[in-house]
Amino acid sequence: MKALIPSSLLSYTHSPEIEAAGATLGELLDDLDRRYPGLRFRMIDEQDNIRPHIRIFVNGEQTFDLALALRPTDVVHIVQALSGG
Amino acid sequence: MTKARSQISKKRKLKAKGNPASKKNLARDKGIMERIERKSATRTRKPAPRSKRASRLRPERRVLALVATRKGAWIYHGDAARKTWRVDGPHFLGHIVNHLALDPRDGKTLLAAAKTGHLGPTIFRSADFGQTWQEAERPPAFAKPADGQKGRVVDHTFWLTPGHASEPGAWYAGTSPQGLFRSEDGGLTWRPFSCVNDDPQYREWMGSVQDGTPDGPKLHSIIVDPRDPAHLYFAMSGGGVHESVDGGGNWKSLVQGLEVVEGFDPANVAFHDPHCVRLCPANPDRLYQQNHCGIYRIDRPANEWVRIGRTMPKRAGDIGFPMVAHPRDADTVWVFPMDGTAVWPRTSPDGLPSVYVTRNGGKTWKRLDSGLPKGQAWWTVKRQAMTADSQDPVGLFIGTTSGELWMSRDEGNRWACIARHLPEIYAVEVAEIR
């Protein structure tokens, strides 16, 4: 499925739009980390929480649930929140 | 091993941009610069031939200053006389770099503790002095707790200490909130070290985020006894000083003799706030400490710290963050006093920055401010931002909260500004290479 990457993480993927696989959001993030080592931990902490300034949208709907089931046609949009002024 | 990401520094492009003390800048600031600052800027042209005296003092090892800041890292390469400096950076522009350290065992591996304001913390590793960087595969991270309990999250890695000379590849890391980690593979993978992170007693002493420093409670001052890899110390702000003689299997608090803020009970380890602990290379049985409540010394096997800061001049007081021990003389140590009165301004007292030195283990102190600003300088020096090289005479470095890097080539007697207009400096370490 399609995953959209924020500019702050382009040093990992070198592309704002990449293809990734996974039956759940957590699996998709694991897939991304296999291909771009270190990427997941910059977004997800060691207790499996999405970090404070990261937001994830699936087909335009915000989610904090890594167990959320995904379909191959879904679009996962990872956003760096513009907090802090 | 999975293929790790590489980040190539755009050195050529950034060189001009990252040269904050170029001659041009210095000329612009001519009105406010002091003579000594103008004389020793970062090198922009070929230096003049060394004098005969400088040649005699020429060190065998070249000195690099590793500067970690709130917005990236810079490396300053000194010439043989430590008089002119070539700047390399920024590395990780925009990253909050809390510490940048060289592995003295191989003389080439650098580790950088980094994060950004929005992304999680990580460790970068370079084996070529920062030309290329490789990210840790498993940065320091707390273990998941038992079901139903809230787990802790590493906000940033604050402190890096290379392991013992007999343990190549071993490193220790201290984090915020307080956590102790170890790597056995040169910083690529990290695991929680010993029981400290999850021990109920230590967790109580660590307190909560509310009990820590303004930018988060920290585990720091991880010290490995050069005579014994199993003899370790670490300190926590807050949470006291701790020692292990069995490689981290067991720890014992080392807070006797230390004072705490008035009204609190010194018997409670949680109330102790060591800012910086240093072991003397010339005598590993002697440690010095800059604490929230004064300057201390301890001579092991004694278990009681002695407050040696009482002899500091009243105008300076004995509050501060950094402390540096002489590489060859256990009676000599330098501090950088800070205004810790009333609301804790965390500036130089009266806007007059100065280093102080004792050469007799704390009996007397001498002010060393020649070359430093003579007024209206409201910066200070953080606990990791003051260090020494091992040359003769010893070179001292301070990195300021206002983004200036100062250096003394004669043990603090005279100071010169190497670089200015950097971001707030969090740490300065020295690397000495052949």
Minimal Cβ distance to A37: which of B2, B118, B150: B2
Report d(CA B141, CA B158) in Å as an integer. 13
Answer whether B118's CB lies under 8 Å from B129's CB. Answer: no
* Helices marked H in chain A: 10-13, 25-35, 39-43
Average pLDDT over chain A, rounded to whole?
94
Report d(CA A37, CA B98) in Å as an integer. 22
Q: CA triplet B376, B382, B388: central angle to 5 degrees?
A: 105
CA distance B300 to chain A (A): 39
The H or E element containing residue B94 is none
Interface of B with A (CB under 8 A): 2-5, 7, 116-120, 122, 135-137, 139, 141-144, 150-154
Q: CA triplet B14, B20, B25: central angle to 5 degrees?
A: 120
Measuring CA to CA, how many Å separate B339 from each of B257, B281, B345, B352? 23, 29, 6, 10
pTM: 0.87
pLDDT attached to residue A83: 61
Q: Kindly give, in sequence order, each residue whose CB lies less than 8 Å from that of residue B202, ignoring residues fewer than 6 positions away.
A: B178, B195, B196, B239, B251
Interchain contact, A41 vs B2, CB within 8 Å = no
Q: CA triplet B291, B120, B5: central angle to 5 degrees?
A: 120
Mean pLDDT for A8-22 is 95
Residues of A in contact with B141 (CB under 8 A): 41, 45-46
| Residue among B30, B47, B42 at smallest CA distance from B74 | B42
pLDDT tens-digit series, residues A19-50 = 999 999 999 999 999 999 999 999 999 999 99
Measuring CA to CA, how many Å separate B419 from each of B8, B73, B95, B239, B410? 24, 13, 19, 35, 18
In three-state secondary structure terms, A1 is coil
* Confidence band for A82, pLDDT divided at 50, 70 and 90: low
CA-based nearest residue in chain A for residue B115? A42
Burial B123-133 (b: 16+ CB within 10 A, else e): bbbbeebbeeb
Report d(CA B222, CA B240) in Å as an integer. 12
Minimal Cβ distance to B137: which of A37, A51, A81: A37
Per residue of chain B (434 residues), give pLDDT as tens: 333 344 433 333 333 333 333 333 333 333 333 333 333 334 433 444 444 444 444 557 899 999 999 999 999 999 999 999 999 999 999 999 999 999 999 999 999 999 998 899 999 999 998 999 999 999 999 999 987 788 999 999 999 999 999 999 999 999 999 999 999 999 999 999 999 999 999 999 998 767 767 789 999 999 999 999 999 999 999 999 999 999 999 999 999 999 999 999 999 999 999 999 999 999 999 999 999 999 999 999 999 999 999 999 999 999 999 999 999 999 999 999 999 888 889 999 999 999 999 999 999 999 999 999 999 999 999 999 999 999 999 999 999 999 999 999 999 999 999 999 999 999 999 999 88
Q: Kindly give, in sequence order, each residue whose CB lies less than 8 Å from that of residue B234, ignoring residues fewer than 6 positions away.
A: B172, B174, B180, B196, B219, B220, B221, B222, B223, B241, B242
Q: Given the DSSP bridges, would you call strands B425-433 and B62-69 parallel, antiparallel or unpaired?
A: antiparallel
In single-letter form, the type of residue at position B377 comes to A
Minimal Cβ distance to B135: which of A9, A34, A37: A37
Structure tokens at B406: 């100062």
Tokens 């522009």, residue located:
B93
Interface of A with B in 39-58 (CB under 8 A): 41-47, 49, 51, 53-54
Write the DSSP symbol of residue B118.
Answer: S
Strand partners of residue A80? A54
Write the DSSP symbol of residue B138.
Answer: B
The H or E element containing residue B204 is helix B200-206
- CATH class of the domain at A2-80: alpha beta
Report d(CA A79, CA A81) in Å as an integer. 6
In single-letter form, the type of residue at position B35 comes to R
Report d(CA B428, CA B434) in Å as an integer. 20
Burial B252-276 (b: 16+ CB within 10 A, else e): ebbbeebbbeeeeeeeebbbbbbbb
Report d(CA B346, CA B338) in Å as an integer. 6
Interchain contact, A42 vs B136, CB within 8 Å = no
Question: Is A81 at the interface with chain B, CB within 8 A?
Answer: yes
In single-letter form, the type of residue at position B295 comes to I
Answer whether A53's CB lies under 8 Å from A80's CB. Answer: yes
Q: Exposed, middle or buried: residue B147 (CB in 10 Å: 0-12, 13-18, 19+)?
A: exposed
The H or E element containing residue B259 is none
Question: Is A13 at the interface with chain B, CB within 8 A?
Answer: no
